[in-house]
Amino acid sequence: MAHAVKKLFPDVKLAIGPAIQDGFYYDFDIAKTFTPEDLALIEKEMAAIIKQDSPFVKKNLSKKDALSMFEKMGELYKVELLNDLPDETVTIYEEGGFFDLCRGPHLASTGNIAAFKLLSVAGAYWRGNEKNKMLQRIYGTAFNNSKDLKKYLDFLEEVKKRDHRRLGKELDLFSINDEIGSGLVLWHPNGAIIRKTIEDFWRNEHLKADYKLLYTPHIAKLELWRQSGHLDYYRENMYSPMEIEGVDYELKPMNCPFHLSVYKSNLRSYRNLPIRYAELGTVYRYERSGVLHGLLRVRGFTQDDAHIFCRKDQVEEEIMRVLDFTLFMLRTFGFESYDVYLSTRPEKFVGSPENWEISTNALKMALEAKGLRYMIDPGEGVFYGPKIDVKVKDSLGRSWQCSTIQVDFNNPERFDITYRGTDGREHRPIMIHRALMGSLERFFGVLIEHYAGAFPLWLSPVQLSALTIAERHDAYAEKIVSELSRQGIRVELDADSEKIGNKIRKSSVRKIPYSVIIGDKEVDDNKVTVRRRNGENIGPFTLDELTSFLFEEINSRR
């Protein structure tokens, strides 16, 4: 691709072009903006290069000679990359007179490339730093044959149809407004009622599981974040402090220090442990504008957060309880497939290696006791402890990071929290951080794409629409709507003077699970005809039969 772009646009400067999970990209510095027509031209040129079947030839050069070569070519980005390399010898690859800096390996020749497609163009800062120049990134993909390529392109079309940003607008669920700020979400009534349903379920299940609910402030003194270690290890994700009456305060990036403060507000005995605090706590983290993405990457979000304070002998059992709770929660929302990762000590960490080993072993033993297969993710633990991550797979087979369980020896020491043991002495509890859904915003975005906006009945913002055929049916319809609404069904009446076919289409576009059609027969029989959103007619039902039918499905959460 880089060769083709260079042939078509000789003044272009080449940056980097790595392989990625589902294809590849290359960053270019060019005065013009690439258009879809340009991509078509580049594809045509790529096909010509493939047809030439030029061999990929690996060459070893001294760093000095490579610098000289790329300087003469005017490839300033390659020169910068070379200057940052510690190696004295580097490799370049050549095909058909085109040279590029690359570690390799490559195919034997360009003719081995069977099927490819350029997908899109996006802006990308050089080296991901927004202080650097904005480049143009062309994304592409390649496969062993045309059949596999077509299958992947069809998959991308389905991904596009399910894009939560598009569906969020079409179904009036949420918006993000530049006048308010990038990465800050406005929940519209339809989205807000789904959020309320999720939150009500979440709180009720936590109360059943013997958690105590908390509410904590959105800001705190900067000193709190110094004590927790966030200022030293998390500063780049925090906002600038605000001064209030001569004291610096900080928007909270985490809920943990508040929960520690609640624990510390009373004397604790070994008999009190474990103590489980849970909060739907809104936090604020600085994310670069280039990585913000709808609901999936935002700057203000609500974590389904909880912290468990327990004795060392209780850690493994508590982790197993959390694993059970996690899988129950994910399955309730329709996620049956997932991958489990155990993330170990990162390069930058707090606490002793001994405590890290104890924590990591506790997580391992809990996973093995529950019979869960897991993979090691080396060095990806948080700065205060190792963690278990559960990545769910959606209906398209894509993985999403949601649930996390983290063991923390560090913060109990930093905040000097204790409990009175059986020996009458003070002991240090272990702290377990956990989130089942991650953040409500991200989880909601994943749910939208998982269900393609067609939520199950219990989550749907409108569960049933009543559609009248003529004005004379309105009174009966209003009676139906009033009774269903009184019993807690989210129902709407469409009594507009439109044809019934248009009303059915509107209900279908809005992905409302059920519609009731009300005409002369329904009024005469004191019943309703029920239509699923897939077009299937069921019933007829009396009002009591309809209510019973709906509540059975709502309560099953299927």
Nearest residue to 451 via CA among 201, 171, 189, 183: 171
Please, which contacts does 413-416 make with residues 24 or more away whose CB atoms are closer than 8 Å? Answer: 413/351, 414/227, 414/228, 414/229, 415/227, 415/228, 415/257, 415/260, 415/261, 415/264, 416/264
For residue 110, the one-letter residue type is T
- Residue 408 burial class via C-beta count within 10 angstroms: exposed 0-12, middle 13-18, buried 19 and up: buried
Cβ contact 453:167 at 8 Å: yes
Nearest residue to 248 via CA among 259, 237, 239: 239
Radius of gyration in angstroms for the set of CA atoms belonging to the chain, rounded to a whole number: 29
Nearest residue to 418 via CA among 529, 305, 275: 275
d(CA 97, CA 88): 24
- Token duo for residue 496: 């507009």
d(CA 140, CA 22): 9
Residue with the two structure tokens 């070569």:
69
Write out the catalytic residue numbers: 256, 285, 303, 305, 307, 387, 433
For residue 2, the one-letter residue type is A
- Token duo for residue 430: 């272990």
> Which residues touch 129 (CB under 8 Å, ≥6 apart)?
none
- Token duo for residue 47: 């096909």
Helix, strand, coil percentages, rounded to 5, for the chain: 40, 30, 30
Q: Which helix (H) or strand (E) holds 500?
A: helix 500-509
